């Protein structure tokens, strides 16, 4: 697998509020990813899912579909607002609906947080990093926090800050860079070994 093959990126938004800023920010990441013809994308909106409360029915239809989509993805982007000093309960429900072992296990995961205050989504990203790591996700360094988000976007979702625009878009670029340098070589090596092809000495460590 290389960038010459199809890379599947799934973006999961952690807010269901109409007109929310989380979706506005993740839309920029989506736009950045769409510049790459070898990348396929899907945005998961929890508002369209009927996810059961934790501990009730982990094998519901929507939960199974969510697990399948995440399981088939090359990389994941989790976008959340900061609520009450942490990430959203919607995002927590999504993570808890990904099964055990989690569909996030072994997946590179990039984090994006938005907040209305000047500090940004630092606390929510710290907590989200801990939870994703706990279930086995490979959390990329440098999560992106967007502060004063109500002034960064207008009511139509247009980004009014050029620096913030590029910062948010870097979430997609960083994830693709990680996949190109870490996931693609590993998958290619595994495929060669499974097909029984002879590898160069330096590849097999001779």
Residue among 7, 12, 37 at smallest CA distance from 25 = 12
The rounded mean pLDDT for the chain is 88
Reported pTM:
0.87
Query: Could you tell me if residue 92 is inside a domain?
Result: yes
Q: Tell me phi and psi for residue 42, to 5 degrees.
A: -145, 135
Query: Could you tell me if residue 1 is inside a domain?
Result: no
Q: Is the pLDDT of residue 19 over 80?
A: yes
Asked if residue 101 has a cis previous peptide bond (ω within 30° of 0), the answer is yes
Query: What one-character DSSP code corresponds to residue 179?
Result: I
In which domain, by residue range, is 116 found?
A: 7-204
Query: What tokens were used for 34?
Result: 């769409």
pLDDT, tens digit, for every residue of 33-67?
Answer: 999 989 999 999 999 999 988 877 667 899 999 99
Query: Could you tell me if residue 2 is inside a domain?
Result: no
Dihedral, 126, 109, 117, 89 alpha carbons, nearest 10: -80
pLDDT range class, residue 130, cuts 50, 70, 90: very high
Query: Could you tell me if residue 113 is inside a domain?
Result: yes
pLDDT at 194: 52
pLDDT at 184: 67
Query: Could you tell me if residue 114 is inside a domain?
Result: yes
Query: Could you tell me if residue 49 is inside a domain?
Result: yes
Give the least confident one: 78-82, 143-147, 186-190. 186-190
pLDDT at 60: 86
d(CA 192, CA 197): 5
CB 65 within 8 A of CB 10: no
Give the least confident one: 18-22, 39-43, 127-131, 179-183. 179-183
pLDDT, tens digit, for every residue of 69-97?
Answer: 999 999 999 999 999 999 999 999 999 99
Burial class from Cβ neighbours inside 10 Å (0-12, 13-18, 19+) for residue 3 reads: middle
pLDDT range class, residue 5, cuts 50, 70, 90: low
Query: Could you tell me if residue 118 is inside a domain?
Result: yes
pLDDT at 4: 45
Q: Which CATH number belongs to the domain containing residue 44 in this structure?
A: 3.40.50.360
What element of type H or E holds 38? none
Q: Is the pLDDT of residue 202 over 70?
A: no
Domains of the chain: total: 1
């Amino acid at each position: 697998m290389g960038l010459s093959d199809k890379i599947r990126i799934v973006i999961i938004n952690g807010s269901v509020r109409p007109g929310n800023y989380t979706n506005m920010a993740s839309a920029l990441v989506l736009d950045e990813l769409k510049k790459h013809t070898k990348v396929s994308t899907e945005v998961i909106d929890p508002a369209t899912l009927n996810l059961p409360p934790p501990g009730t029915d982990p094998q519901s239809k929507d939960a199974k579909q969510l697990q399948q989509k995440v399981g088939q993805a090359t990389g994941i982007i989790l976008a959340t607002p900061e609520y009450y000093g942490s990430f959203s309960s919607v995002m927590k429900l999504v993570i808890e609906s990904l099964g055990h072992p989690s569909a996030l296990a072994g997946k590179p995961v990039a984090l994006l947080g938005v907040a209305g205050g000047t500090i940004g989504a630092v606390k929510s990203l710290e907590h989200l990093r801990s939870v994703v790591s706990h279930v086995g996700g490979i959390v990329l360094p440098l999560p992106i926090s967007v502060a004063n988000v109500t002034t960064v976007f207008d009511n139509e979702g247009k980004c009014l800050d050029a620096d913030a625009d590029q910062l948010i878009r870097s979430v997609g670029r960083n994830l693709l860079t990680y996949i190109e340098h870490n996931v693609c070589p590993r998958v290619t090596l595994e495929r060669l070994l499974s097909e029984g092809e002879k590898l160069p000495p330096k590849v097999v460590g001779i």
